[in-house]
A = this chain, B = another copy of it.
């Protein structure tokens, strides 16, 4: 029987007592490891984190916690090759796609370790300046942010087992809040291994970082008023979480990142073959294929002026044609597999739904798979769709097919383009391509109301822009409406979620004690 991965909870390793769920290599179909959370004493584990790890973390300064993050980053860096191997086996990713997850995690951890230095030898944050509440200024108000006295529960998605853990854990632990992560079962191995490695290295106080692999049953029931929960995944599961009594009754703070039908817009006035046109085409093709389109931030809808529809379709298709799909262990392969048979089937079903309302402009399934058996491997080529009447087409604005699929649409003028983008009802990111800085700026402001991030690409940043779908720790990650309404990252803004804000009112001599 395959190895049963251990859970880490309550400051110790704990094996589930059930048969477990088998994790599978999505390319070869082989069994890898098992995960199981049966029989864990969740209440005791959560209480240990809340009552032991929390006070231990909060007794440290931000600078000291930052040093722990740096130490964790070193542990991960030293084991990087193992993580690449796990990612290839469990997620079916080529090296470049593994890097987005694993190196992205280490980079984000490092960014928070460095930013801790700016917070220094403090154990709480001062929020703004004191203001006087009395005419003689003897009585004043000073806001503070103090770490919440609970645990942070992360219910994570399958597509980023490494980055998805650390982009949330870094600000939580820096804030002094213990973390309990429940990775998505299909790809839980990498999360479990990273947590285990960091725990074995003794980087954090006991109970500060826990991992529970397997079923999420009962996890939400453990939450108390000062805990927080952060979820990344489907809108359906998000609705279940938001309806839970912990949220509804106990005001447990919740952060949701759910479906997002992200857009890319080529602004008017850019000719076919212009620098902006080429940047748009390149980025669209890249976003469709990176991690086989399994990024919450990936471009799903592309908007171009009507006159450029055919040229854009041809140019994107030409790029996609150079793509090679198959076994990530073969160096000639550019795109590996989807993470599981279930995801493969879901993407197929979604694509089939979209195809009923769109033309297929490029069909990646005409390509042969490299070194992979189509009957076994969860591989599929990228598919470019086209919808020439985007006003009448509701489905394309509403459907997130979580794979290498995107739809090209024509717009009449800029207001029409912006209106179509907003049919997504709130998204994580939109990208704009053009050479008119004023137009880029005003469009970005317009889309800021419905997006967590707007990414403007002009020819002068051709070499330096960070990519539509790449989430930089310095920038907000999250989006309103359909995207879940959450806020992550954004530099030190991420710490807000793990702190409680309060106004302290008193004499200056009292307020001077809390600076």
Task: List residues of A whose CB falls within 8 A of some B CB.
Answer: 124, 128, 131, 133-136, 138-139, 141, 143-144, 146-149, 225-226, 235, 239, 242-243, 247-251, 253, 256, 258, 425-426, 437-438, 440-442, 444-445, 447-458, 460-461, 464-466, 472, 474-476, 480-485, 487, 490-491, 493, 500-507, 509-514
Cα separation A513 to B432 with both chains bound (whole Å)? 15
Residues of B within 8 A of A242 (CB): 242, 247-248
* A-B CB contact pairs (8 Å), 19 listed: A128-B491, A135-B464, A139-B464, A139-B466, A146-B449, A147-B449, A149-B450, A242-B247, A250-B482, A253-B480, A437-B509, A438-B513, A440-B510, A440-B513, A441-B513, A445-B504, A448-B504, A458-B506, A487-B501
Cα separation A480 to B420 with both chains bound (whole Å)? 39
Q: In the complex, are the beta carbons of A454 and B503 less than 8 A apart? A: yes
Q: In the complex, are the beta carbons of B226 and A426 less than 8 A apart? A: yes
| A144 shortest CB reach to chain B, Å | 5
Cα separation A491 to B130 with both chains bound (whole Å)? 11
Residues of B within 8 A of A481 (CB): 225-226, 250-251
Cα separation A509 to B444 with both chains bound (whole Å)? 13
Q: In the complex, are the beta carbons of A146 and B448 less than 8 A apart? A: yes
Q: Given A425-B225, A441-B513, check contact A453 B247 (CB 8 Å).
A: no
Q: Given A484-B251, A490-B143, A501-B487, check contact A133 B450 (CB 8 Å).
A: no
Residues of B within 8 A of A425 (CB): 225, 250
Cα separation A225 to B235 with both chains bound (whole Å)? 14
Residues of B within 8 A of A134 (CB): 461, 464-466
Residues of B within 8 A of A465 (CB): 133-134, 139, 505-506
The 5 A-B pairs of least Cβ separation, nearest first, read A441-B513, A225-B481, A456-B506, A251-B485, A475-B503
Residues of B within 8 A of A509 (CB): 437, 458, 460
Q: In the complex, are the beta carbons of B131 and A491 less than 8 A apart? A: yes
Residues of B within 8 A of A135 (CB): 464
Residues of B within 8 A of A452 (CB): 501-503
Q: In the complex, are the beta carbons of B482 and A124 less than 8 A apart? A: no
Cα separation A485 to B501 with both chains bound (whole Å)? 11
Question: A251-B484, A442-B513, A449-B502 known; 6 other A-B pairs, CB under 8 Å?
Answer: A124-B445, A128-B493, A138-B460, A251-B483, A453-B505, A476-B502
Q: Given A143-B490, A458-B506, A460-B507, check contact A226 B440 (CB 8 Å).
A: no
Q: Given A138-B464, A500-B448, check contact A472 B250 (CB 8 Å).
A: no
Cα separation A220 to B451 with both chains bound (whole Å)? 24
